[in-house]
Structures are given as structure tokens and as C-alpha cells.
Amino acid sequence: MSIKFVKTDKPITSISGLAYIGAQLDNKEFFYAINKVSRIKKGSGFICDFDIIKTMIGLISLGKPDFEAVEEYRTNKFFKKCLKLKKVPSSPTLRQRIEEFSDVQWSIVRSFNISLLKEMIEDEHVMINFKKYLIQDNDVTVHDNSNTKKEGVSRTYRGNDGYSPMMSYIGKSGLMLNTVLREGKDHSNCPGTLEYFLETMKMAYALGDIPILIINDSGNDDIENILAYERNGAHYIVKRNLRRESKDEWFSLAQRHSVAKKRLREGKVTYYASVLRTVKVKEEERSERTIRIVVVATERSIDRLGQPFLIPEIDIETYWVNLDASEEQVEELYHQHGTSEQYHAEWKSELGMERLPSGKFAANSTIMLFGMIAYNILRRLGKEVLSTNEAPGKRGSRIRLRTVILNLMYMGGLIIESVRDITVRLWSGHAWTEAFMSVF
């Protein structure tokens, strides 16, 4: 059997899933808020700021966060119809207009993100000792922008040139709560980090009444951060940086105060303990606070192959904790924090958000926030498709963004235009068609 290719005059789209993105962005409150602060408003005869925002979010949702990518869709009626654009901007226009955005628009985009999350957060809690919690993971990830002269690009802790943005996720599906672009040289707890955490906590509380559990790695082991969490009523698990503390002393302490002991295999024993540590409060002279520290100490005297060590290996993990949970639960919850690395990977590789498109730091900060909206809308599409129980293959608790983009965003369809509407005919033999149509 041979395969032949012929041309057709019938309009066909390869981006049927963009209709879902457009439906989520068709929000009057979002439009009014942006239009109110815009220099170029809707009805002015020029492309308004709201259309610029929708265009860029649409491109990111297709995995094309680049200004030049818009040229592919300048004459695409379906792209324009899905996003309700009067005109698709050119790449120079898109670049110039985004470079004009400031923290005024950033605040509105973050508010819209909260309104999106409110509609998605209902089943995102976890149960810990019969209590509901929303887990908030904060983490720094490196964006490699080597061999560029972009503003703010500098040497990162990974040894390459790029940015070091802080990313915050909430819920068990990895919804993005907040993000801020930072220069590559900025360390995890650089100036401004506490203010970022306070802002992000307010966002988390705006989602509802479920208690928040903040999980941070040792890069944010700072007593001022921890006391700020307590003052704002948040629960936390923060891995401690042992710095110059003696591992032997911690191991001895864990053995003496052990509340649980696990022998995972021959020659490997883990001790779990809790101790209280008194710390000084800088804001209040002569004031002190007592905080619980969970200690997980592992001793290895024999390796996996049965070879004895001359000197046993000792690993120590300690955590600042104010959560009513056992030491083993604390360890497990912190290790689940590592899932955020998967979210970073999806953000950087599958959305293509690692090498940001502008040479200006503020413009790239804007793109980061647009990316957050696209990321959450794609997460929502994945969640809704999963809930139909019609997604093909074996599925876990979430669908990767790559799967959503390739199978749903780039779903092909035949376009039938009428006076008022556009109908897209999807091939019934496509494995994802039933799930996608169920969502719509």
C-alpha cells in the first residue's frame, strides 16, 4: 500500500486544544482589571494589552514561548478565533508591548492565577493524622541561559550562566501558586525572599480555609523565615543546614532520644528522634522561642553487596517542624517535596520556559507570570481529562504537560465555519478524542 499526499482547500487545524485555553482566558474580571491600567485599551483601534497577554499565553501553552513563534499564526483564523483576537500581533509588536509591562500588570496576573486555582483546589489537599492540609512547596531552580547577554544572567550555584527563579507549587498535582524571576547569582535565601514568602502565604490563604503546610529545603533554613510562618499561622517542615554541626553528636542524640528504629536491611539502621531547640527572636530583645527539631540518623555498616565498612557511614537529616506528625511522617513528607523537581522539568523542557525570550529582565519576569497561567490551565485540562476516565493507557494521579500538549493541544481537526460559529470535527479514531470532547 502506498501513501499519497494531496492538497485540500478545506481548513484544517493542528491546534484544536487552543480552544480550551481561550475559554479559560475569556474572563471579564481579568479583562476589566487589565484594561483599566492599560495604556492601550480595547476599542482604541490598536491591539490592546489584554490581547497581547492572551497571545503570549496561547503561544506558551503550545510550548512556544518565543516572540518569533507568533508569526506562524498571524494568518491563522482558528488561533485568532480561539483567543478572541481582532488581530494577531507581529513578533516586534509582541516583544515591544510585553517589555512595557510592569508590576501593575504583574499583580493583576497573579490575582487571576488565584481565581483559576480556586476552581481547581478542591481535591488537592492531603490528609495527615485525619486533618486536611494544602502542601506548599517552595524551591529554587536554575534556568540555563548560557552564551547570552540577557539582563540579569549571571553565574548560578550550578556553575552555569542563567537565572535562579523561586517557584512555589501548591496541592498534590503541582499547581503553580507563585513565581519570581531572580538573577543567577542570587542564592536561595537572598534579600527579598522573606517578602516573597509572605506574599505567597497570602495567596495560599486566599484559596480557602484549609491549613497550609510549607515545605522548604535547607537553602531556606533561616530562623526569620520560620518565625514568619508561625506568626502567620502556617505549618512548616524546613530541612536544616547542619553547617559545622557535628554529625557524631547528632547521631548520639538520635540514639539516646530515639522514638523509632528501622532496620531497613542488614547493616543499615535508621533512628528517629525529636528534640527541642531554643532560638532567639531578633525583633524582640531578650525574647526566645522553642522549636521542635526532628532528627533522622542513618548508620550503614555494610553496603548493599554485603561488604562491611571499616568505619560506618553516618547520614544525618534534621528538620525544623511545627506539624503534629510523627518523625517518620515528617521524613516522608519532606522526601515527597522532591516531586517539585519533576514540575521544574516540565516547566523548563515541556513548556520550553528555560531560555526566556527577552534580553530585558522585567520582560522575562512578565513571561514567567504568563507561563504560570499557561502551566495551570494545562494542568487543569489534564485533571479534567483524567476525571473522565476516558484517557487512554494506564494513568497515575496526574498527566504530564508533555502528554497534554502533544495529544490535546496539538489535536488535529477539520474546521467548519458558519456565520456565527466554528465547528471543529475531530477524528473519532483518535485515542484522546472522547476524553477531550467530554471536557468540552
* Residues 297 and 269: beta-carbon distance below 8 Å: no
The average pLDDT across 412-420 equals: 84
Q: With cut-offs at 50, 70 and 90, classify the pLDDT of residue 286.
A: low
List, for residues 306-339, the tens digit of each pLDDT value.
888 888 899 999 999 999 999 999 999 999 887 8
What's the pLDDT score for residue 162? 96
If you ran DSSP here, which 8-state letter would residue 346 be given? I
The average pLDDT across 225-233 equals: 94
List, for residues 331-376, the tens digit of each pLDDT value.
999 998 878 889 999 999 999 999 999 999 999 999 999 999 999 9
Cα separation, 404 vs 409, whole angstroms: 6
For the whole prediction, is pTM greater than 0.75?
A: yes
Q: With cut-offs at 50, 70 and 90, classify the pLDDT of residue 283.
A: low
The average pLDDT across 177-199 equals: 95
Cα separation, 277 vs 416, whole angstroms: 69
If you ran DSSP here, which 8-state letter would residue 306 be given? S
User: Residue 245 above 70 pLDDT?
Assistant: yes
Dihedral over Cα of 81, 86, 87, 92: its sign: negative
* Residues 126 and 172: beta-carbon distance below 8 Å: yes
Nearest residue to 410 via CA among 377, 432, 395, 387: 432
What's the pLDDT score for residue 41? 86
Burial class (CB in 10 A: 0-12, 13-18, 19+), 72: middle
Per DSSP (E only), the strands in 49-186 are 126-128, 131-140, 143-144, 154-155, 161-163, 166-170, 175-180
DSSP-assigned beta bridge partners for residue 179? 167
User: Residue 284 above 70 pLDDT?
Assistant: no
Tell me which residue has cell 470532547. Answer: 437
Q: What does the domain layout of the chain look like in residue ranges?
A: 12-107+359-439, 240-322
Q: Is 180 helix (H, G, I), strand (E, B) or coil?
A: strand
Q: With cut-offs at 50, 70 and 90, classify the pLDDT of residue 285.
A: low
Nearest residue to 124 via CA among 32, 23, 210, 18: 210
Nearest residue to 55 via CA among 374, 380, 409, 408: 374
User: Residue 214 above 80 pLDDT?
Assistant: yes
What's the pLDDT score for residue 339? 80
Burial class (CB in 10 A: 0-12, 13-18, 19+), 39: exposed
Cα separation, 117 vs 134, whole angstroms: 12
Average pLDDT, the chain: 92
If you ran DSSP here, which 8-state letter would residue 137 be given? E
List, for residues 95-117, the tens digit of each pLDDT value.
999 999 999 999 999 999 999 99
User: Residue 395 above 90 pLDDT?
Assistant: no
* Residues 194 and 228: beta-carbon distance below 8 Å: yes
User: Residue 396 above 80 pLDDT?
Assistant: no
Nearest residue to 261 via CA among 270, 253, 251: 270
Cα separation, 394 vs 379, whole angstroms: 18
Q: What count of Cα atoms within 13 Å lies in the side-chain half-sphere of residue 293?
A: 23
Alpha carbon 11 to its chain centroid, in Å, reads 36
